[in-house]
């Protein structure tokens, strides 16, 4: 039998009802959590570009209706009698990684994000565009109570993607780390790279973004509308890591000559267009190209702790649940992350 705080018999949510459709308001009947699950009352849910997957954009098979959202912050309101980790009233979060099997070859070595049978919040299971969400217990992150939920929510996907990737690269301060793009991921990547002690280079276009980039931690700003960015990086000795956050395969591949010896082109953006790269570009300086997929719950906890310690701030635009479609439409244009706040009044 589940133990719970007071809750409604049903609650509103916004879901995709079909492939390529718009969000529609639905009413979800309350369901008590079963073993391995908890229910949270949602305080905030970030809107991510990868929420498009719930609409059928990325060829992932989706069962409709599907409630999107994988940057979830909330308080625990129901747990099964068997729950041993999470307690009623506790502040928690759920990110992209929605659960793992604990038995496949990847889980057996503790690499849960690459689980062969992993589930994804808001894509393969219902997510956070709602007043409540059911989360898998093993994929839940503990969060401090004193963080603004709306600012904390994007830390569980956008920020942990940048943080977890960069801390696993072959780079050490005072190496140069370049960040391509100053958007939802890029504005966090600049702050994280600076806080880790790297010399940080912002790569963007237009002189109007230089002041913002420097305020976020960039030591250098390279304006692609004026100079060849790869040549500018080479003139500085090359970047050990170039974090590509803006969705442009063409722009990313043009940066390869700007890498230092043993440098890495780190692909973090959502982009389906292929890249055309000559192997000879990589051989002379032992270059590599890597992708990185977010992290699991403990990675999110590490990211939140790092962000608090170093005052990494996610800049957000808040939307009430009733404006979920508007928030979704702003997923790539908000300054810098759109966040749905169910308790916010329209």
Angle at the Cα of 278 from the Cα atoms of 274 and 280, rounded to 5 degrees? 155
Average pLDDT over residues 22-32: 98
Domains of the chain, earliest start first: 3-151+314-341 (3.90.180.10), 169-291 (3.40.50.720)
Average pLDDT over residues 83-109: 97
pLDDT band, residue 12 (cuts 50/70/90): very high
Give 161-201 pLDDT, tens digit per residue: 999 999 999 999 999 999 999 999 999 999 999 999 999 99
Cis peptide, bond prior to residue 260, ω within 30 of zero:
no
Give the model confidence (pLDDT) of 119-149 as tens digits. Answer: 999 999 999 999 999 999 999 999 999 999 9
Contacts of 344 (CB under 8 A, 6+ apart): 318, 319, 320, 321
pLDDT number for residue 117: 95
Reduced to 3 states (helix: H, G, I; strand: E, B; else coil), residue 8 is coil
Q: For residue 270, is pLDDT > 90?
A: no
Separation of alpha carbons 255 and 269, rounded Å: 15
Concatenated DSSP letters of 258-312: GEEEEEEEEE-S---S-----THHHHTTT-EEEE-----HHHHHHHHHHHHHHT-
Q: Does 241 score more than 90 pLDDT?
A: yes
User: What length does the chain have?
Assistant: 346
- Going by pLDDT thresholds of 50, 70 and 90, the confidence category of residue 58 is confident
Q: What is the pLDDT of residue 57?
A: 86
Question: What angle (nearest 5°) sits at the alpha carbon of residue 69, between those of residues 325 and 215?
Answer: 85
Listed residue (286, 281, 287, 264) closest to 198, CA to CA: 264
pLDDT at res. 273: 87
């Amino acid at each position: 039998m589940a133990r719970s705080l007071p809750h409604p018999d049903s609650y509103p949510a916004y879901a995709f009802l079909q492939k390529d459709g718009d969000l529609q308001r639905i009413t979800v009947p309350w369901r008590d959590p079963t073993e391995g699950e908890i229910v949270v009352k949602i305080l905030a849910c970030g809107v991510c570009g990868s929420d498009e997957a719930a609409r059928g954009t990325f060829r992932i098979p989706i069962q409709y209706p599907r409630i999107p959202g994988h940057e979830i912050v909330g308080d625990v309101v129901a747990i099964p009698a068997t729950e041993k980790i999470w307690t009623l009233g506790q502040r928690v979060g759920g990110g992209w990684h929605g659960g793992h099997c604990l038995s496949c070859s990847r889980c057996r070595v503790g690499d849960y994000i690459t689980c062969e049978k992993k589930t994804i919040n808001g894509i393969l299971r219902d997510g956070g565009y709602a007043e409540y969400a059911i989360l898998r217990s093993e994929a839940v992150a503990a969060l401090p109570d004193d963080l603004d939920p709306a600012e904390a929510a994007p830390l569980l996907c956008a920020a942990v993607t940048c943080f977890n990737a960069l801390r696993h690269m072959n780079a050490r301060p005072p190496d140069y780390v370049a960040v391509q793009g100053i958007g939802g991921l890029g504005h966090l990547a600049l702050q994280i790279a600076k806080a880790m002690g790297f010399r940080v280079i912002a790569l963007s276009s237009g002189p109007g973004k230089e002041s913002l980039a420097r305020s976020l931690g960039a030591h250098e700003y390279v304006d692609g509308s004026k100079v060849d960015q790869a040549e500018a990086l080479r003139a500085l000795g090359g970047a050990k890591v170039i974090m590509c956050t803006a969705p442009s395969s063409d722009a990313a591949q043009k940066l390869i000559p700007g890498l230092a010896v043993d440098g890495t082109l780190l692909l973090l953006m959502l982009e389906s267009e292929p890249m055309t790269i000559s192997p000879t570009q990589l051989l002379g300086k032992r270059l590599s190209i890597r992708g990185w997929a977010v992290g699991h719950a403990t990675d999110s906890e590490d990211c939140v702790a790092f962000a608090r310690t170093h005052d990494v701030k996610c800049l957000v635009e808040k939307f009430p649940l009733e404006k979920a479609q508007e928030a979704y439409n702003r997923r790539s244009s908000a300054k810098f992350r759109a966040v749905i706040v169910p308790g916010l009044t329209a």
